[in-house]
A = this chain, B = another copy of it.
Amino acid sequence: MFLPGVDEIVRRAIAEDVGTGDITTVSTVHVDAQARATMVAKSVGIAAGLPIVAEVYLQIDPRVTVEFEAVEGESISPGMVLCRLTGPARSVLTGERVALNFVQRLSGIATKTNSFVRLIAGTNARIVDTRKTTPGLRVLEKYAVRVGKGYNHRFGLYDAVLIKDNHIQAGGGITATVRAARMSAPHTMSITVECDTIAQVDEAVNAGADVILLDNMSLYDIREAVAKIHGRATVEVSGGVNEATVPDIAQTGVDIISVGALTHSAVALDIGLDLQLV
């Protein structure tokens, strides 16, 4: 079990693409024809999702063997071979697009993540993802963030408390809201409070929040907040983070920088499959 639930995700992807059958391949390729194929990078980036290639072919036809030449998380460049496939030509062809769709998207996310990570090298900050992932693929997209040397934020609404403005309004202010969450959530669960102002930061720290999330603050305010918090809580920044702004943000001494673009604005990395009949 590479990642929980991935077999089901792959099953759906195959069903979606193959449907009632690969009519072209069945009608033009002999059932006994064999093929060798190489998955090859066509641009620069970080490889992610290679284990899914094995899962795709395990499901389509276990006679297809998959040998990896690249390592998950490794830097790749045009021409580099990621893996080699050998087996029945029909099966290799039928699985091609499904396998590539996974690897291209996940490598795109790992690549984007890694570019942020490299921009803050030397600081203590972490680049983390958000819940702005493609519906149905969160477990894989968050995996790709880790492959790109980023970190994961919470996985969903169920594994951490994150108090936003509406919760604060509904809960009667930061102090009351934090107390309510602490009173009812499992003791293992951390509490983050999203703050827009320094005054809110003060209140949230005093209320005992574990993480202070500075939302859309100026560099100046971020610095003041870091100084105020002074180690009494983890400091997270979100909003207005991009490749241009992230180095300065990281220099302020914040712990966590969460970036929706890692997943919501990642594009597929260019990767292809070269196939030869044997």
Contacts and interface: CB of A to CB of B under 8 A. Distances in A.
Interface of A: 1, 3-5, 9-10, 12-30, 33, 35, 59-61, 89, 91, 93-94, 97-98, 100-102, 104-105, 126, 128, 131-139, 142, 151-164, 166-171, 177, 180-181, 183-190, 192, 210-211, 234, 236, 255-256, 260-261, 264-268, 275, 277
A136 B234 CA distance: 36
Most buried by B among A29, A89, A163, A234: A29
Contacts of A59: 1
The 4 closest A-B pairs by CB, nearest first: A19-B158, A13-B135, A160-B188, A264-B268
A100 B159 CA distance: 20
A20 to B, nearest CB: 5
A187 B15 CA distance: 23
The A interface is mostly helix, strand or loop, or mixed, namely: mixed
Contacts of A188: 153-154, 159-160, 162, 190, 192, 210-211
A16 B135 CA distance: 8
Given A18-B157, A21-B158, A105-B134, 8 more contacts: A13-B136, A16-B156, A24-B157, A28-B171, A28-B180, A153-B187, A153-B188, A155-B159
Contacts of A136: 9, 12-13, 16, 135-137
Nearest to A181: B27
A100 to B, nearest CB: 8
Contacts of A22: 157-158
Contact of A17 (B27, B131, B160, B234): B131
B138 A17 contact: yes
